[in-house]
Amino acid sequence: MRWLVFGLLIALTPGAASGHAFLDHAVPAVGATVAASPPTLQLVFSEPIEPRFSGVELASAAGGPVATGTAALDPRNPAALVLPLPTLMPGRYRVNWHVVSADTHRTEGSYEFSVGR
């Protein structure tokens, strides 16, 4: 009986099926070219995320990994991750992200931005 009630709660909870966290916007913006190396990347998602099961990796245009700090939840926004960056040389970069939203659904994606020129 307990399991039946639990199943019904899942089935009837509004938004349970639609509560996936997608990238809403980023700073620097998706596809942007910034003049100087930004101190951090901020990724803002469509809903709060679970930082323990979420992460952001940076790669050069050639595909090699770029060492960064560890992505952490933005203390002012539970739907945002902040990734501390080293000084980036001019060039194109790819950001690969994966997050788990509060409803335990996993989503992932990637985008590019450029530094300089």
> Cα 71 to the chain's mean position, in Å?
9
Considering beta carbons, is residue 56 or 99 the nearer one to Cu ion? 99
Residue 57 engages Cu ion in binding (rule: CB under 5 A): no
Considering beta carbons, is residue 94 or 105 the nearer one to Cu ion? 105
Terminal Cα distance for the chain, rounded: 64
According to DSSP, residue 2 is labeled H
Considering beta carbons, is residue 21 or 41 the nearer one to Cu ion? 21
- CB under 5 A: which stretch of 2-10, 15-23, 32-40, 108-116 binds Cu ion? 15-23
At a CB cut-off of 8 Å and minimum separation 6, what does 101 contact? Answer: 19, 20, 21, 45, 47, 48, 49, 50, 107
C-alpha triplet 73, 64, 37: angle, nearest 5°: 55
Out of 20, 92, 94, 98, which residue is the one contacting Cu ion (CB under 5 A)?
20
In the complex, what is the shortest distance from the CB of residue 7 to Cu ion, in angstroms, rounded to a whole number? 17
Residue 103 engages Cu ion in binding (rule: CB under 5 A): yes
Binding site for Cu ion (CB under 5 A): 19-20, 103, 105
